[in-house]
Amino acid sequence: MTRPRWRLLDTGLRRAAENIALNRALLEARQAGEAPPTLRFLRFAPSALIGCHQSAAQELELDYCRARGIAVQRRITGGGAIYFDPAQLGWELYLDRAHAGTDMAAISRRICEAAAAGLSRLGVAARFRPRNDIEVEGRKISGTGGAFDGDALLYQGTLLIDFDAETMLRVLRVPAAKLSHKAVASVRERVVSLRELLGEPPPLERIQRTLAAAFAESFGVEWEAGGLVPAEERRFEAALAEIDTPGWVFALDRPRSEAPLLSGSHRSPGGLIHVDLLVDTRRRRLKQVWIRGDFFVVPPRTIADLEAALREVPLERLESVVEEFFAGRQVQMLQLAPRDFVQALANALAGAEAVS
Amino acid sequence: MSVVKGCDIPDDLFYDIENNVWARREADGTLTVGMTAYGCALAGQLVSVAPRKAGRSVRKAKSCATVESGKWVGPVKAPVSGEVVAVNEALLENPGLVNEDPYGAGWIVRLRPDDWDAESGDLLTGEAALAAFAAKMDADGFTGC
């Protein structure tokens, strides 16, 4: 039986506005039945990308981006702010629900598992980490997100071929303490690139071929290299006219005062716990948490997992999320209890009482 | 209120079945629009709702809001063309209202339809809507809310 032939599209290195306008154009064209299901590879000139529903002022250091000529753009897909440079490869699938299913979480899993299988063939032990990451031994190598329009789906991921932690930390809004050498080292414990894992990363062409083969296997298809169809070119021009504007990028902008950075500490018998928080005071949610200190926890990735579990959690649920997190896994701690983390969070939030 | 595969489907609303959107005709001629319980079940817990701003015109089947759940972003499509006259401000602070009460506190926008009579012909209500949702859930392989 012959396998369906889907399109393999490589749009090369482009500006962020063009890449995101292509997201819109290709998704619309798939929805309209104008173009085949597609695997697209893409790369970005240095760019700071916020999620579709994020505020650039709240997520990014815009002055730094401006000074360094780093483009600022808003994606059409969900998730958080990222720094995207030419040392990362973007991969995207444009599919129909009929190819992938109706349950969004299951679609994410299926696509991420296929991408992880591809990466594994490059010699790294990549695995899907719910809900949206691909990691190698607890360290993130690929983040993902999606968008849909009717029956058409776009699912996209990044792949770190090399990783510029210093620039990333200056582009994203993080606590000042994260800019120290020690903090950069701690980010490097949580994020990893092909270069670090393999010494010399494989050539781009081989990475793309290997990922494409894994996706083809997962969906039972063959790839046929192709370019944009005329309808996509037209949709691209229209999308670019809207997206390549401050009006698009800053459409959902909100003041930084509604997203303060807070910090607090708690001294437990097991050591000092320090937490930095980015809090959405309007929605009363934790946006992001950074935890450090001189306590002892095994496995060490527990802390990164706890930080991930606390993202986007309503403030009133913090305690129960921390308790549930530790209840659900095997963790060794020395004279340290889940409530110590809750206390450190509460101490940091105490500074925000005035604003909330 | 009727229930299809565990999903509440009020009999008195108008539905765009394909896009999982409901519409209620208000006494003042405006139209309240939201996501169906089935649409909410497919999306999962919403973390963000971004409606078009009041005063904007939206064409039928174009997006009058975008919603985000589990890093997926999707449109809420206008059931008919019209002008956005109000947005549910409560969703900015608590997008989960859509999941908790999709036909009540979780409404998304209010539209002033350009021409309800001309554009509402493909919207279903009552028994026809229930049958269409049942068929769609089967086609989607959906097991229940």
Dump the DSSP string for chain B: -EEETTEEE-TTSEEETTTTEEEEE-TTS-EEEEE-HHHHHHH-S--EEEEPPTT-EE-TTSEEEEEEETTEEEEEE-SS-EEEEEE-THHHH-TTHHHH-TTTTT--EEEEES-HHHH-TT-B-HHHHHHHHHHHHHHHT----
CATH match for A256-350 among 3.40.718.10, 3.30.390.50, 3.60.20.10, 3.50.30.30? 3.30.390.50
Counted across chains A and B, CB pairs separated by less than 8 A come out at: 75
Q: Report pLDDT for A315.
A: 93
**B71 to A79: CB separation less than 8 angstroms, yes or no:** yes
Q: Measured between CB atoms, which of B66, B73, B140 is closest to A102? A: B140
Q: Measured between CB atoms, which of B42, B71, B73 is closest to A76? A: B73
Q: Report pLDDT for A197.
A: 96
Residue B64: which CATH number?
2.40.50.100
**A78 to B68: CB separation less than 8 angstroms, yes or no:** yes
**B47 to A312: CB separation less than 8 angstroms, yes or no:** yes
**A283 to B92: CB separation less than 8 angstroms, yes or no:** yes
Q: Is residue B111 domain-resident?
A: yes
Q: Chain B 13-52, CB below 8 Å of chain A: which residues?
A: 18-19, 42-44, 47-48, 50
Q: Report pLDDT for A184.
A: 82
Q: A253 to chain B: which residues are within 8 Å by CB? A: none
Mutation test of the interface with chain A: which of B73, B99, B143, choosing the one with the most A Cβ atoms within 10 A?
B73
Average pLDDT, chain B: 95
**B71 to A146: CB separation less than 8 angstroms, yes or no:** yes
Strands B7-9 vs B63-69: parallel, antiparallel or unpaired:
unpaired
Q: Is residue B145 domain-resident?
A: no
Q: How many domains does chain B have?
A: 1
Q: B5 to chain A: which residues are within 8 Å by CB? A: none
From B127's Cα to the closest Cα of chain A, the distance in A is 24
- Provide the CB-side half-sphere exposure for A309 (13 A, CA): 21
Q: B47 to chain A: which residues are within 8 Å by CB? A: 53, 78, 312
Q: Is residue B64 domain-resident?
A: yes
Does residue B107 register a pLDDT over 60? yes
Q: Is residue B75 domain-resident?
A: yes
| Percentage above 70 pLDDT, chain B | 100
Q: Let me know the angle formed at the C-alpha of B104 by B30 and B2, rounded to the nearest 5 degrees.
A: 100
**B68 to A53: CB separation less than 8 angstroms, yes or no:** yes
**A78 to B72: CB separation less than 8 angstroms, yes or no:** yes
From A163's Cα to the closest Cα of chain B, the distance in A is 23
Q: What are the boundaries of each domain within chain A?
A: 5-249, 256-350
The nearest alpha carbon in chain A to B145 belongs to A103
Q: B19 to chain A: which residues are within 8 Å by CB? A: 150
Q: Report pLDDT for A355.
A: 43
Query: Where in the sequence is the domain holding B70, given as residue range(s)?
Result: 2-140
E strand map for chain A: 5-14, 38-44, 47-50, 71-74, 82-84, 88-96, 126-129, 133-136, 139-149, 152-160, 222-225, 261-268, 271-280, 285-293, 297-298, 332-333
Q: Measured between CB atoms, which of A53, A101, A146 is closest to B50? A: A53
- CATH top class, domain A5-249: alpha beta
DSSP-assigned beta bridge partners for residue A42: A90
Q: Is residue B115 domain-resident?
A: yes
pLDDT tier, B130 (very low <50, low <70, confident <90, very high otherwise): very high
pLDDT tens, residue by residue, B37-55: 999 998 889 999 999 999 9
Q: Report pLDDT for B70.
A: 83
Mutation test of the interface with chain A: which of B71, B133, B136, choosing the one with the most A Cβ atoms within 10 A?
B71
**A104 to B18: CB separation less than 8 angstroms, yes or no:** no
From B32's Cα to the closest Cα of chain A, the distance in A is 21
Strands A222-225 vs A152-160: parallel, antiparallel or unpaired:
unpaired
Question: Sign (positive/negative) of CA torsion A136, A169, A159, A134?
Answer: positive
**A52 to B68: CB separation less than 8 angstroms, yes or no:** yes
pLDDT (tens digit, 0 to 9) for every residue of chain A, 356 residues total? Answer: 689 999 999 999 999 999 999 999 999 999 999 999 999 999 999 999 999 999 999 999 999 999 999 999 999 999 999 999 999 999 999 999 889 887 888 899 999 999 999 999 999 999 998 878 999 988 999 999 999 998 899 999 999 999 999 999 999 998 876 677 777 887 888 899 999 999 999 999 999 999 999 999 999 999 999 999 999 999 999 999 999 999 999 999 999 999 999 999 999 999 999 999 999 998 889 998 999 899 999 988 899 889 989 988 989 999 999 999 999 899 999 999 999 999 999 999 997 554 44
**A104 to B69: CB separation less than 8 angstroms, yes or no:** yes
Q: Is residue B63 domain-resident?
A: yes
**A145 to B93: CB separation less than 8 angstroms, yes or no:** no
Q: What is the mean pLDDT of residues B83-87?
A: 98
From B102's Cα to the closest Cα of chain A, the distance in A is 19
3-state secondary structure of A96: strand
Q: Report pLDDT for A356.
A: 40
